[in-house]
Amino acid sequence: MQDTNRDWIELVKATRQKFGVSIQEAHDLIFADDEMRRLVASRINHNAECRKMALQDIRAYGEASRFVRSGDRINFRKSDGQR
């Protein structure tokens, strides 16, 4: 795993600890930030490990996933990054 991917995992862990929330709730808090959504959207489409995680979310949650495939790209389903 690359350091940048590890940074994401550590950010989710720190968010969970700080707010006492689940993984999905930590994602909601993180994706509420415009800049974070832009960074994540770019990583999803340029990093194989990030893309794999987004595709797993799509498979696991289907229409309830926060991501959607658009041709070769993966985008946030909603502009606010929420489910």
C-beta separation of 44 from 63 below 8 A: no
CA distance 16 to 53: 19
Placement of tokens 């600890």 in the chain: 17
Residues in the chain: 83
44 CB-contact burial (10 Å; exposed 0-12 / middle 13-18 / buried 19+): buried
pLDDT band at 82 (very low <50, low <70, confident <90, very high): confident
- What's the pLDDT tens digit per position in 14-60? 999 999 999 999 999 999 999 999 999 999 999 999 999 999 999 99
Indicate whether 65 pLDDT > 80. yes
Q: CA separation (Å) from 34 to 10, 18, 37?
A: 19, 20, 5
